[in-house]
Each structure stands twice: as structure tokens, then as C-alpha cells.
Structure 1
Amino acid sequence: MPSFLIPARSSRHRTACFALYRSLLRQALRVPLPDDCTTTSPLGPANPIQTLIRNAFRRNKLDTSPRLVVSALKNGYRFLTLLSRAADASTPERASVLTFLRENQARVVAVKARREAENAARISTAPIEGRTPLITRISAAGEPPVYAPTGPPRPLSSFRSGVRKPPTLNATAGVPFLTLKKPQPRFLERVVRQRSRRRTERILKIMEMVVEGMGEAEAEDRWERMVGKMLAEKRRAEGGEGLRTKGVVVDQGSYKQSLQEAVSYSIDVTERERNDLVARGRAMWQIVLAEQEMALQEERERLAREGREGEEPQLRVWKRPVYARNRKGRKQERGGSPEQSQGPGVMKQT
């Protein structure tokens, strides 16, 4: 078989393959199978031999290597002989076919169970039932987006340490998000990464259309004008016969105009997304301020219980403390003992 020949485009090859395919399917129906391989099988009531044949032909239909094509055809004729002998229930070929079918059935069931377990353990970004979102849109449809916190600050019992740590407002590529705990949840990281990537790709595409696409569109428009001018001269030479009489329709648009519309639409989408992200960031900042105010109030109550009303309350932050290289530096920098400097990081309210 020549190396430049594509088997799928050869009529003789297709005829031989279809003949082998039909022969295998017909012979598969003549092999007697027990109920555990057909009607009561966990894979369904279909004939498992025909399913394997169809899958094998679909898997090999794109092969163009002569070595692979010849090997597949030889295996097909060999299995046709095997199925012909397996039609007799007393032959060892039928026993080998049943053994293979049961082993393959167990393997497929195990693979499906493993995939279901992996899908169940996979972190999903879908909304969780019973959970309320942090912010809710309060503006009507068609109005500029406005968001507000859904509920009051979290109760103190939701913090395992028993000390409230206000969240931190962060942003990546203009996408705001709250850091509520460390380490950052994987699903939050994935959502922020995907939204940032889509936003960045859209902006880069706009720049590409403006910088490179406009020049190419203008060149295409010049070419269209040249062709139109040549057609007009040919029409005048033929006696003024219109183009519409020949079934030709002249498009009044231009490549540059179409590209400008695409750029305008992309910029509009990006601007609407930016306004939405800004509104979300403002609502998240309200959550941060409310959490900080609640944390200061709880800190004042704790100091009052301990008889330290004169001390200034401090906020706990979601940031691991960075210690100095030696105890003397920590003592001079923090103005306290080395033992006190090893406590959780704090941030004074400004």
C-alpha cells in the first residue's frame, strides 16, 4: 500500500472494510450468550460482541499507516473465524469468548465506578444548596449594577479560633474577591483564574483587532474597490448591462466597518464587565468594613472583661507574621518581649 494513499478515501478499501464489518456483526448474533452478558448485564441489554466490534472500527477509522491498517484487517478476519467457530456451544472458542466478555464487563464496571468517584470528589463551582451568596444585586435589569451585602457579619462562632479576623479585599486582573481564610480555597482560586484569563484574552483580542486587523481590513477594502472598478469598466464595455441582471449582488458594507463594529461590541462588553466588577468590589468592601467594626467591638468587650479598658483594640488579619532574624530585633521593633512577639499578627485600625 503506498504511503501517500489514504485508506478512508479508497473505494476498494472502504468496500472491503464494510464487508468485513457487516460479516462480523452478523456472526456476532450467532454466538449464544448467557443472560449475565446480555439482558442482566450492568452494561445494558445490548449484544456485547457487536458493541466491541463497533468501538474497534470507530477507533481505527482514522488510521493511515499501512502497517496499522493491514494489522487491523488481519485481526478482523481472524476474529471472524473465531466467531464462526464460537457459534457452536461445545467448542473451546465459545468458552474463551465468554471469559473475555466477563473480564471486559468487570473492567468497564470498575472504570465507571472509578470515574464516578473522581467526579464526586472533584470540587464544583456550582452554588451549594442552603448557602447564601455574600453579595446580592439590588439594581433592576437595565440599570447600572449595584450590589449590597446579603446579610449581617458572620457570627463569632463561625471562627474556629474564637477570634474574629476580618476578610481582606483583593483583586486579580480587575476581578475582586475576599480572602476569608488561609489557605485560599481551590474553587475560589479556579474561578478567579478563569475570569481573569477570559478578561485578559478579550482585551488582547481587542488590541490585536485595532493594531493589526485594521490595516488588513483597509487592504481588503482597497482590493474590493479595485475589483469593483474593473467590473464597472467591463460593464460599460459590454454596453451598460447591470451587474444585477447577471445575478451578482454588490455588498455595500466594508471589512473595516465590520471590524469596527466588532471592536465596539468587545469594548462595550469589557466596559459592562468592568462596571459590574467595580460594583461587586464596592459591596465586598462594605463587608470588610462591617467585619472590621464588629471585630473592634468584640475586641473592646474582651479588653473590658480582662480589665484592660485603656488599651487600643487591634484587628487580627489573615496574614502570617514575618519575624525578624533575632529576638533583639523583634523586641526593638515591636516594643515588647520576645514571647509577646510570637503571637498572631495584628493591624492597628487607622
Structure 2
Amino acid sequence: MACFSSTLQHRGMHKVLVPKRSGVHRFACRALYRALLRQCSPSVGNAPWLGEAKSLMRQKFRQYKSLDSPSQTKNALKTGYSTLDLLHSACKGNKPDEDRVTTILAKHKTFRAEYVARQRELADSRPPKQLGSKQVQKQERIRKQNETTRRHPDAESIFLRPRTVVSGKRRVPVLVSARGVPFLRFKKPQPRNLSGVIRNKLDRRQKWIDRRDRLQVELLFAGDEDAWDDITNMEDSVQWTEELYTAFKDVKEKTKNEDMKNKEMAEKMWQIVLAERELAEKEERERQSET
């Protein structure tokens, strides 16, 4: 391998240099890019086409930043420097160059509109893409989830269970606790309306807890204020801690009542699970005896 490399060097064959991997090349391109953008800034001139020209510069540099061909890179840089001279002359008030810039921008705008129209026509003419089985199943799951966004008008209360008669095999629910909020799960996925109710309850409880913790801290400062009033013999009919303690007691009572309601609801739901389980076992024994 070493002999082969020395032979290539002896014959004058050089390693191919990729421009975009050269630090010197990248520095030159960035300097040209910054110069073009500065030339299109409002501080240079007040031409109405400056904003459109600046957008075009950014688009072209994104388009050509991955060029590998030295010849194409050379032509792109040559065009960039010519454009810089043209913009500089147009911003200085050269009427022919200004007309040339506006003509180039108008042609680009027309070409862009025609290109978008052609692409839209091609997209409309293509036959609809056939979905795979997994995509069909995914869309079906999304459709069913959207149907459960609102509670069904004929839905009955969960506490009317267990049903005495069911069609098919009885499905025994599972008692689930979502951070203290109990509910019965019969199947997955979970209905969206149920998820919304649970989320609202948890958000409300969290707000109460945050308020309780904040009031606890404020009570400490209020106690210090009352102590200072006693030291300075300040006579005030209402203490600093009075209103804060009333609010703290209220939010603490709300949290406690909510927890008690969840506990009672969980006990009722557990009785439903036991009754459903008993009926399911009874129906299973009846099916086995019939066979």
C-alpha cells in the first residue's frame, strides 16, 4: 500500500479535495453569505425588494450548501460574488442594475409559483396511497377514541351494576386508582371522557395542595407580624394570621372531603367488582354444566 501511494505521488496524482470539508472554503462561503445578507439589510437602502432578495439568498445557500463538485462550487461562488456586486450597485441608485434585480426576483417568483402549481397537480393526480394493516388499525383506534370524547347519552351509572343479564361472557371490571381517584376499567383503551374527568379532579386537588402549602408558609410570616405587633404594643382588632388561617382551614377541609369521597367511591366500586366476579363464576359453572 505504501509503494502504491508513493507511486501515485511520483506520477503527480493528487488527492481529490471535497470543498465543503475544507476550512478555508467554509470560511470564504460564510463570509460571502454574511456580505450578501448585510447588503440586503434595511440599513443599506430602502428599496422595496430588499426583503425578498434576502429571503432568496438564504434559500439558495441552503440549496447549494451540500455541493461536492469543485466545478459546481466554483460557478456558485462566482455567481455569489457577481450578485454581491449587483446588489451593491443597485443599492447605490444604479437604475439599470436595480431594474435587473427586480426582473430576476420577478422571474424567480413566477418560476416558484409555477413549480408549486405543478407539484400540486402531480400530488392530486397520484392515486391515494393504500394504507397498511397497522395504519388501518391505528386510524380505527383514533376514530373510536374520538367517539368517546363525550359521554354517551344512553350511558348508565356505574353504580347500577352488576347487571343481572349480559350478552356473551361477563367481563369483570378492574378497580384502578389514578393517584387516589378510583374508577372501574372494563377494557382498553380508556375512554377520553373518563380521562378528562380524572385529569380535572387531579388538577383541582393539586391546586388545593399548592394553595395549602403556600398558606402554611404565609402563616409563619403572619405569625411574626403578630409577634412584632405585640412587642410594639400595636392595637389591631384583626390579627395577620386570622384570615390566612381561615383560608388554610377551608382548603384543608376541601382536600379532606375530596379524599373521603374517593375512599367511599372506591369501597362501592370494590363491592361491584366482587358482585361481578361472583356472577361471572356462577355463569361459568352453568356453562360447564350445560356442556
Instruction: Give the TM-score, by structure 1 length.
Output: 0.38
* Structure with greater proportional helix content: 2
Instruction: Give the TM-score, by structure 2 length.
Output: 0.45
- Indicate the structure (1 or 2) with the bigger Cα radius of gyration: 2
